[in-house]
Structure 1
Amino acid sequence: MITARLDRLIAEGTDRIFRPVLLADGHAFSVNIKAGEDRAAAVALWPGLEAPEGEDWENEDSWESFLTGGNADDSQFLDVPVQALRDLVEQHGGEAPTAPDDPAGTAPLAMLRAAGLRCVEDGYSLSADWHRVRVPLADGTEVVFEGFSARSHEVFPDVTTRYPIREHGYWTASWGEPGSNARTTVYHSAGQRRPYVEDTAALVGSIMEQARRSGGSAPEGGVGESAEQLARKALAEWGITAHFDDEPLLDGGRNTWLVIPRDQGAGKTSAGPYMVLALYNEDDDEWPMDQRPPVRPGDEWRVEVGDGNGVEKGLMERPADRLADCVEVIANWLTDPQASADDEDDDHEAAHAECIQPHRSADGYVDCDGRPL
Structure 2
Amino acid sequence: MLTERLNRIAAAGTGREYTRIRLADDLMVYVKAMPNSTVLDEVYLAPGLAAPDTDDWEAEDDKLVLTGQSASGTLYLEVPADAVGDLIAAHGGEHATQDTDFPPVGYQVHPADGAGHYPVRRGPHRLGYMARRGRIWRVLPLGATVWSGSFASSEEAAAHLLKLAEAADKYTARRAEWVLRDALAECGLPLRRESRAVVGQAPTSWVEIDSLHRSPYRTGGEPSMAVYLHDREDEDEMTVDREIAEADEWAVLLWDADGTQLQGRTFAAADTADLAAYVVDWHRDPEAAWSAALAADHARRLAALNAAAARS
Q: TM-score, normalised by structure 2?
A: 0.35
Q: TM-score, normalised by structure 1?
A: 0.29
Which structure's CA Rg is the greater one? 1
